[in-house]
Amino acid sequence: MIGAIEILIIAVIFGIIYGRDAIDKTFRKSANEGVVESMAGDLKEYYEEDPQRMVKLAVFIVSAILFVVTGIYWAVTRTDFLKMIGLDQ
């Protein structure tokens, strides 16, 4: 019987093998540029293809940040989180 750890190890190995291929094909990064330059070039291409896609991406990023901030605010105000970490009496 195969255990969960063995399945996880197999999944990680396949993820490493196929993930690198997907990343290399998706982000056409050359050896002499950094990650930021590569991402900037990809974002420029995305904008040239469809400018509305950048607006949707910006709205998604802002909404994700607001969701996380709201969750943190709820956790701090509605629970005893500050007492748990020793910041409140």
Confidence of residue 67 (pLDDT cuts 50, 70, 90): very high
What is the torsion angle, in degrees rounded to the nearest 10, for the CA atoms of residue 7, residue 12, residue 15 and residue 17?
A: -110
Both tokens assigned to 20: 């690198």
At 66 the pLDDT is: 96
What angle (nearest 5°) sits at the alpha carbon of residue 43, between those of residues 72 and 63?
25
At 30 the pLDDT is: 60
For residue 9, pLDDT beyond 80: yes
For the segment 19-63, what is each residue's pLDDT rounded down to a tens digit?
665 555 555 556 566 666 767 777 787 778 877 887 888 899 999
